[in-house]
Amino acid sequence: MNCASPLIGIVAVSSRCNSRCVYCDLWKNPRPNPPISQTLNAITQAGKLGIVLIGLTGGEPILHRELETIIVHAKANQLYVSITTNGTLITKRKIKSLENAGCDALMFSLDTLNANRYAQLRGIPIDFVLQGIDAAVASKSRMLLGINVVVSHSNLEDLPGLGRFCIDRGLLLGITPIQNPEGGFPFPALDVDSQMMRTLRKTFAFLRDLVREGLLLGHRIDYLADVEAVLSRGALPLNFICEAINRCFSISINGDTHLCPARPSVGNIKSFDLAAFWASESHFAYCESLKYFKCPGCWRSYRADTFSLEWLRNWFINRPAGPPV
């Protein structure tokens, strides 16, 4: 007996990064990239599991000199490929290179359009990021283009402007809640007063209106209700059951494989058969033990319950049709 087939695999290809994000410490302790053989092996194993989407992250994946080789390998394993980037190194030439390799989606990390606030959150000027986004939009690439927004009390008021920014450029908007801009796990609850709660509800109501205007949201619309609850209470809804443990997995720079970021690694990809583990009784027992694991939540727990196999396939195969709302 085993858990449901996974849908998404996240593989870190580089710990190097030219951003200085306050909620990430990879840039403080950069390590050498994993051997290319390790990364390709991870993707091969992901393909054997029958996942739909492989996400290439970092650090900053664009800094990896063999990124296109990794993408080509993923496509050879029948995977859709998404890259998350800070956007500072994206040029028309790079877009063409990624597209030719087979990349399906390019997501830019952009938490605000306010230059000062962006510099505070990401530690770099916003100009190069916006130039990268403009270059991608102007290229009329076949890739799905979008932005990922890490939402905290620091940038809550910027969400409506980011939503309009996406509509004007035909970009997907992805939202990741974080309860503490300084990061860490588990996240403490925010100090949310009544004024912030009103702002929170007004902001997400505005985003729901933008969806009706054509905003492409990277989640089901009811996802926003859970984000509101978590940002205000620092906790998941009481009836929430985490599906991330059998829908997603991640592989770190050193090869450690995680189904839940709050729990120890289930093995290292260097000597670990991921497909065999997924089909084993050990994996089933692991899933059952964590199914009702109560934690403040993470981006995976939110994303997993909004994804479905049909959602992913339709999103990539039947574009430009957007996700269900």
Q: Which CATH class is domain 8-317?
A: alpha beta
Output the six-digit token pair for 246.
């059998």
Query: What is the residue whose two structure tokens read 């990124």?
Result: 67
Please tell me what DSSP assigns to residue 318.
S
pLDDT at 325: 32
Task: Look at 140-144, 187-191, 196-200 and tell me which has the smallest mean pLDDT.
Answer: 187-191
What residue ranges do the domains of the chain occupy? 8-317
Cα–Cα dist 108/145, whole Å: 8
Tell me what pLDDT residue 111 has: 93
Q: What is the pLDDT of residues 227-264, one digit of tens each?
A: 666 666 656 666 666 777 778 889 999 999 988 877 78
Q: Are 110 and 162 contacting, i.e. CB atoms less than 8 angstroms apart?
A: yes
Of 94-108, 189-203, 241-255, the poorest mean pLDDT is in: 189-203
What are the E-state strand segments in 141-255?
Answer: 144-151, 172-177, 216-217, 248-251
Confidence of residue 221 (pLDDT cuts 50, 70, 90): low
Dist CA 239 CA 223 (whole Å): 14
Which pTM does this prediction carry?
Answer: 0.87
Residues with Cβ within 8 Å of residue 48, at least 6 apart in sequence: 274, 275
Query: Average pLDDT in the 166-183 region?
Result: 74
Tell me the average pLDDT of the chain. 81
User: What residues contact residue 14 under an 8 Å CB cut-off, 6+ apart?
Assistant: 33, 58, 59, 60, 61, 63, 64, 253
Q: 54-68, 97-111, 224-238: which range is least confident on average? A: 224-238
- Other C-beta atoms closer than 10 Å to the C-beta of 58 total 26
**pLDDT (tens digit, 9 = 90+) per residue, 266-325?**
999 999 899 899 989 988 888 887 766 656 556 566 555 555 555 555 556 555 433 333
Strand order in the sheet with 256-258: 216-217, 172-177, 144-151, 105-109, 80-85, 53-57, 8-12, 248-251, 256-258, 267-268
CA dihedral (264, 270, 272, 274) positive or negative: positive
Phi and psi at 32, nearest 5°, equal -60, 150
Number of helices followed by number of strands (H, E) in the chain: 13, 10
